[in-house]
C-alpha cells in the first residue's frame, strides 16, 4: 500500500464518519487499509489528533517534552482496546512506551497526577513547607512580643498607682502582695518575669524571695543587729556628759 498523505487520511476518515450506508470494514477494504487502522484513525480524529504522514508518525515526542494531563488522557483513550501489536505500533508512532500509558491510566483512575504534570515537585513542596514553618514561627514570635508589650504596658499603668519610692526602701507587706498579683497577671498575659521585675525596679531574685511563704514581710524590721563591743552604756554616757567640766556649767534642761 502506498503511503497516504495527511489529506488522504482525512478524506478516508470523513468517509468513515459519513459512511453512506457502508460500514468501516467496507471503507477500509476499498482504500486498501486495515479495519483496525481505520478505526484508530477515526478515534484519533474525534479526539482532536490530526492525521500525520507515515514519516512524521515516528518519534513524535523525540524532544522528550512533558505531556500535560489533557494530552495523556487523549493517548489513553486512543490506545484503549488495542491488542499488543497495535499498541506497540501506536506507542512507536507517538514516541512513548506501553508502560507509560499504563502508569498514566492508573494515575487517572487513582485521581493522582504523576511525573512533570504534577503542579509542584517534591523539592518545591518541601521548600513550601519549610517557608510555611518559618512564617508560622515568625508569626508566633510576633504574637508573643505583642502580647508581652501589652501586658507590660498594663503592668506599668497599674504599678504607678500603688508603687513608688526609691530603690532599697522598706516595702510593706500589702505593697509586696499587690506587686506579686500584678506580676502574676502580666505573666499570664504573656510577659516574662524578668521584664516584669525590671518594670517594677526589682530583681528576679527579690521576686523569688517574695514568693516564699514568709517572703511578703520585710525581715529587716525584725532584724537583731549585733551589739558593738566598745559601745558605752547609757549611764556611762550620762556620767561623761554630766561630770565633764564643759557641761557642769550648763543647766540640765539644756543638756537633754
Asked whether 58 and 94 are in contact (CB, 8 A), the reply is: no
The gap between the terminal CA atoms of the chain, to the nearest Å, is: 145
Domain final residue, candidates 174, 195, 210 = 210
Domain final residue, candidates 175, 195, 210 = 210
Check whether residue 35 and residue 78 sit in a common domain: yes
Asked if the structure places residue 244 within a domain, the reply is no
Check whether residue 81 and residue 133 sit in a common domain: no
Q: Determine the Cα–Cα distance for residues 101 and 97; give it in Å rounded to an integer.
A: 7
Q: Determine the Cα–Cα distance for residues 184 and 186; give it in Å rounded to an integer.
A: 5
Asked if the structure places residue 35 within a domain, the reply is yes
The pLDDT averaged over each successive group of 10 residues in the chain (256 residues) is 71 76 81 85 72 47 65 84 81 79 81 50 79 88 90 85 64 79 88 86 83 64 62 66 66 57
Check whether residue 171 and residue 101 sit in a common domain: no
Check whether residue 54 and residue 128 sit in a common domain: no
Q: How many domains does the chain have?
A: 2
Asked if the structure places residue 229 within a domain, the reply is no
Q: Can you read off the three cell numbers belonging to residue 73?
A: 488522557
Q: Can you read off the three cell numbers belonging to residue 129?
A: 513547607
Question: Within a 10 A sphere around the Cβ of 38, how many other Cβ atoms?
Answer: 21
- The pTM of the full predicted model, rounded to 2 decimals, is 0.36
97-106 contacts: CB < 8 A, separation 24 or more?
101/75, 101/76, 104/72, 104/73, 104/75, 104/76, 105/76
Grid cell 556611762 — which residue? 236
Q: Can you read off the three cell numbers belonging to residue 22?
A: 457502508
Check whether residue 148 and residue 111 sit in a common domain: no
Beta-carbon contacts of 221 under 8 Å, excluding residues fewer than 6 positions away, are 170
Check whether residue 24 and residue 64 sit in a common domain: yes
**What pLDDT does 241 receive?**
65
Which domain, by its residues, includes 25?
Answer: 6-117
Which residue from 225, 218, 226, 153 is spatially nearest to 191, judged by alpha carbons? 153
Check whether residue 64 and residue 99 sit in a common domain: yes
**What pLDDT does 56 receive?**
42
Asked if the structure places residue 230 within a domain, the reply is no
Check whether residue 139 and residue 87 sit in a common domain: no
Asked if the structure places residue 236 within a domain, the reply is no
Domain final residue, candidates 117, 141, 156 = 117
**What pLDDT does 60 receive?**
44
Grid cell 527579690 — which residue? 206
**What pLDDT does 234 receive?**
64
191 to each of 149, 161, 178, 199, 203, how far by Cα in Å?
Answer: 7, 20, 17, 11, 15
Amino acid at each position: 500500500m502506498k503511503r497516504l498523505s495527511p489529506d488522504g487520511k482525512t478524506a478516508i476518515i470523513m468517509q468513515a464518519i459519513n459512511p453512506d450506508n457502508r460500514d468501516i470494514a467496507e471503507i477500509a477494504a476499498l482504500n486498501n487499509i486495515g479495519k483496525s487502522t481505520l478505526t484508530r484513525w477515526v478515534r484519533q480524529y474525534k479526539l482532536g489528533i490530526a492525521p500525520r504522514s507515515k514519516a512524521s508518525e515516528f518519534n513524535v515526542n523525540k524532544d522528550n517534552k512533558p505531556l500535560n494531563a489533557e494530552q495523556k488522557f487523549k493517548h489513553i483513550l486512543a490506545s484503549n482496546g488495542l491488542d499488543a501489536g497495535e499498541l506497540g505500533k501506536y506507542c512507536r508512532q507517538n514516541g512513548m512506551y506501553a508502560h507509560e500509558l499504563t502508569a498514566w491510566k492508573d494515575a487517572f483512575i487513582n485521581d493522582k497526577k504523576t511525573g512533570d504534570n504534577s503542579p509542584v515537585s517534591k523539592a518545591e513542596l518541601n521548600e513550601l513547607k519549610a517557608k510555611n514553618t518559618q512564617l508560622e514561627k515568625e508569626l508566633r514570635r510576633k504574637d508573643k512580643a505583642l502580647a508581652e508589650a501589652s501586658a507590660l504596658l498594663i503592668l506599668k499603668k497599674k504599678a504607678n498607682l500603688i508603687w513608688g519610692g526609691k530603690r532599697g526602701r522598706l516595702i510593706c507587706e500589702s505593697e509586696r502582695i499587690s506587686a506579686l498579683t500584678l506580676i502574676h497577671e502580666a505573666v499570664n498575659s504573656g510577659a516574662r518575669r524578668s521584664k516584669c521585675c525590671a518594670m517594677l525596679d526589682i530583681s528576679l531574685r527579690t521576686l523569688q524571695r517574695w514568693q516564699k511563704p514568709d517572703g511578703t514581710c520585710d525581715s529587716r524590721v525584725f532584724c537583731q543587729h549585733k551589739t558593738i563591743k566598745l559601745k558605752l552604756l547609757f549611764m556611762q554616757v550620762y556620767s561623761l556628759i554630766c561630770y565633764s567640766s564643759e557641761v557642769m556649767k550648763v543647766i540640765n534642761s539644756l543638756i537633754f
